[in-house]
Amino acid sequence: MKTLTRMLKIATSNPFESNNYRYYKHSLFIESKEAMNRFAPFGSNSTMPNPIQILEFFSGAGGTSLGFAVINSIFPVFRFLGGCDIDSISAATYSKNFGTPVLCEDIIKISESANSIQEFLKSINFDPKLPTILIGCAPCQGFSSHRKKKWNDEDDNRNSLVVAFSKIVTEIKPTVFVMENVPEFLSGRYRKYFSKAQAAFYDAGYIVKQNIYNAAEFGVPQERFRSVIIGMQKEFLLPEGIYSPSEYKTVRDAIASLRPIAAGESDPHDLLHKAVAHKPSTIEVIKQVPHDGGNLPEGVGPECLSRVKGFYDVYGRLSWDKPAITITHYARNPASGRYTHPVQDRGLTAREVARLQGFPDGFSFEGKSDDIYRQIGEAVPPLLSCGIAVNILIELLSCEPSQYQLEAGVHSIDMPVSNSYSSVIAGIKTRRRA
């Protein structure tokens, strides 16, 4: 790794040299993954001397930026300008961890005109002469498969945020842009929103590629499928998963080392490891769910659950030796899904949820308990973004891939294979269990 570090320090001082560093992608990811465990918030403006600018819109707490940030602990390369989010608490969390100003602004207003975009850039000391990576992970609820009954509600304002981001990209013309969303974003139902943004990117001179990834492939102890769209001003390879299903990290790997606590208790040495004080009736229901992956027995719990299909995971326990299900901002509530501890009779603490999402213990969250669960559940898993960050950096510093490398690498999903990717994902999981 020392050789790689020296080479990359030289390369980042003169980006876009015709070298090939792709051999080092795996080792750089492993080194960065280990650095994730050592993460501590940056000091104010501490990354300003670094050569590649990072600006993130819809930043939330900063899960995507964190994947880039840990590379800085190996060698200083990324300069963080800020994370812009309309939610003030999320913006404050980003600022606290990355040493940047608090940017609580509406991207729709920023994207209104070239002047409004340039005024925003001026306010954050953006340097147009430096290489820039622009990140935009728009809120995913507008594209969620859980909205099947509302697929005709095409005026969901959240969907227009993607177009707003595309306007900013075409004005700034960053070296690289990254978009992340739910898999449904690339489905037939929502293709028009992606296609409109994609056309703008093409017109601005970008090569655009997209694929769907399981966060577990990058060491996240959670099965979470996400679409990732990357645009560069030169030919490049998409990221490749690191781990096979037999190597996936598990719930045990993530949370077994935490202190056992009962409902309503907290760990005096860890403020985030605090269990919700459930009602006695809720605890009685949880006690009847078999340990280690058990489901709610038939006839147990609220009567409404037995009358409605589709609630099979409600009150279910996580399995020790499997990845968790997708973590959402409802993960504190056992009645919202398979969010019950494998053996302890309670829901998940914020620390457990953070670890299952891949956040290191050194990451600091602002806000009250509900705010913290929301920020964690809405975040891009940092190790997934680490895999993306490593790939982008190496591709930036390497010569363009050969035709053989392009054919052998991960292919872009250029046509939707389904109106809904939720059924496709279910099939992937079923085939793996078979």
pLDDT digits (tens, 9 = 90+) for 224-248: 999 999 999 999 999 999 999 999 9
State residue 306's pLDDT score: 52
Number of H helices, E strands in the chain: 16, 8
Neighbours of 425 (CB within 10 A): 18
In angstroms, the first-to-last Cα distance of the chain is 39
Range in 172-181, 281-290, 352-361, 423-432 the model is least confident about:
423-432
Band the pLDDT of 387: cuts 50, 70, 90: very high
The β-bridge relationship of strands 266-267 and 270-274 is antiparallel
Cα dihedral 94, 216, 329, 325, rounded to 10, equals -170
Q: Which of helix, strand or coil describes residue 323?
A: coil
pLDDT digits (tens, 9 = 90+) for 327-342: 999 999 999 999 999 9
State residue 415's pLDDT score: 78
Q: Is 140 a catalytic residue?
A: yes
State residue 187's pLDDT score: 77
Does the structure show a pLDDT above 70 at 304? no
pLDDT digits (tens, 9 = 90+) for 96-152: 999 999 999 999 999 999 999 999 999 999 999 999 999 998 875 544 444 444 434
Average pLDDT over residues 141-166: 59
State residue 409's pLDDT score: 95
Does the structure show a pLDDT above 60 at 174? yes
Band the pLDDT of 272: cuts 50, 70, 90: very high
State residue 20's pLDDT score: 82
Does the structure show a pLDDT above 90 at 13? no
Does the structure show a pLDDT above 90 at 407? yes
Query: What does the mean pLDDT of the chain come to?
Result: 88
State residue 151's pLDDT score: 37
Q: DSSP letter for 44, please.
A: T
Rounded to whole angstroms, the maximal C-alpha distance in the chain is 66
Does the structure show a pLDDT above 80 at 326? yes
Catalytic one among 84, 104, 137, 140?
140
Closest CA to 353 of 286, 336, 213: 336
Question: Can you tell me the distance from the alpha carbon of 311 to that of 305, in angstroms, rounded to the nearest whole number?
Answer: 7
Does the structure show a pLDDT above 90 at 379? yes
User: Is 58 within 8 Å of 137 (Cβ atoms)?
Assistant: yes
Band the pLDDT of 153: cuts 50, 70, 90: very low
Does the structure show a pLDDT above 70 at 414? yes
Does the structure show a pLDDT above 60 at 218? yes
34 vs 414, more confident: 34
Average pLDDT over residues 207-216: 96
The β-bridge relationship of strands 78-84 and 52-57 is parallel
Question: What CATH topology corresponds to 2-248+380-433?
Answer: Rossmann fold (3.40.50)
Domain ranges of the chain: 2-248+380-433, 259-348
Range in 17-26, 355-364, 398-407 the model is least confident about:
17-26
